[in-house]
Structure 1
């Protein structure tokens, strides 16, 4: 039996409040992780920024590690990921697919670079953060592998490049670490990085770039 409207309204309000509280905690955690680093952020600071009790942070987010993992997993399951995969499936021209991968990873990097930089800094010292980083890497590598498979289906790969090597080449050029080298170490802008990738990656992958 469905609840009467007067009974359903308080339930909906509680659900909306719970969702708003969860989002406030996640937003606070991301802000502090980016600004202070994973180790420099305390649960009490997350709670204060989100205007909740520390116990609520543990109950809703599972503490710092749980919050970081949720933030990273949200990036691997976001709605735009489905759109990216649909576009990859629809593209029929090899060079267009490679350039789409360059653009898609650039956009993703712009959105997540600040947080992933802190993940990379903390991972060597904290196994739980290292596991979170592994999840992010596996998700990205899966997408790159799918693109490599599409190129193979088109018969577009160079003779000396199979799907596994194509996946490796995508990873070598498009993973977060590669972007960090170009932007942080070399001082390239993302426009410069994208232009270089658009010239270099087709030559590395395609029989007729």
Structure 2
């Protein structure tokens, strides 16, 4: 009599699968950063990870699946949500903008490699572009929440508010100052906050704050 097949998965097998996936993601990250997403092929990822090409598809969903997995820590980051929650508790627009500066700074400092390299590349493949779009959408979602709070406060110029916040605190601002121009994150955060205050707050409120 044949014994029934067990549905129980061995912890050793799970550990091996996790190790394989980690090796694939690590290899892909290095290749993407060195050569650009579009220039890297799945067989090259497999060779660098020392696995079969099919294993890359089975374990990580191919090249676009690898990029999505690499961006997941960025998408899971709670810095923006924390800044938004704190912003709802203050009636000082300067403080709200300070929270926006600090929150976006934490995201860009923590995930600098991803945001300033992988996300800025043009992946070229629709599935991969969706992963990049998700990262940008997360940034806009957080800044939209900040904008909603600012609209509730007096002394704030609300014309094109979300676009203005994105200009000062979106990926291009941090990339331009820190990566391209070599600013420290401390200097960039201070300057972006001050510039946003000068742009968005009525002059009388700025004089009162000074």
- Using structure 1 for the length normalisation, give the TM-score: 0.77
Query: What are the residue-to-residue correspondences of 1:55-70 with 2, within 5 Å?
Result: 55-70=54-69
Moved more, 53-62 or 176-185: 176-185
CA contact (8 A) 2:24 2:49 kept: yes
Query: What are the residue-to-residue correspondences of 1:88-167 with 2, within 5 Å?
Result: 88-116=87-115, 117-123=117-123, 125-153=124-152, 155-158=153-156, 160-161=157-158, 165-167=160-162
Q: Which structure has the larger Rg over C-alpha atoms?
A: 2
**1:10 shift after superposition:** 5.0
Residue 143 to residue 157, structure 1, CA distance change in 2 (3 Å): farther
CA RMSD, 1 decimal: 2.8
176, 180, 186: which is aligned to 1:191? 186
| Structure 2 CA distance for aligned equivalents of residues 174 and 134 of structure 1 | 17
- Structure 2 residue ranges without an equivalent (≥5): 1-5
- Structure 1 residue ranges without an equivalent (≥5): 1-6
SS in 2 for 1:55: helix
CA contact (8 A) 1:113 1:176 kept: no
- Using structure 2 for the length normalisation, give the TM-score: 0.77
Moved more, 66-75 or 137-146: 66-75
CA contact (8 A) 2:80 2:142 kept: no
SS in 1 for 2:57: helix
Provide the aligned length of Structure 1 versus Structure 2. 198
Structure-1 residue corresponding to 2:3: none
CA contact (8 A) 1:33 1:41 kept: yes
**1:134 shift after superposition:** 1.6
| Structure 2 CA distance for aligned equivalents of residues 80 and 145 of structure 1 | 14
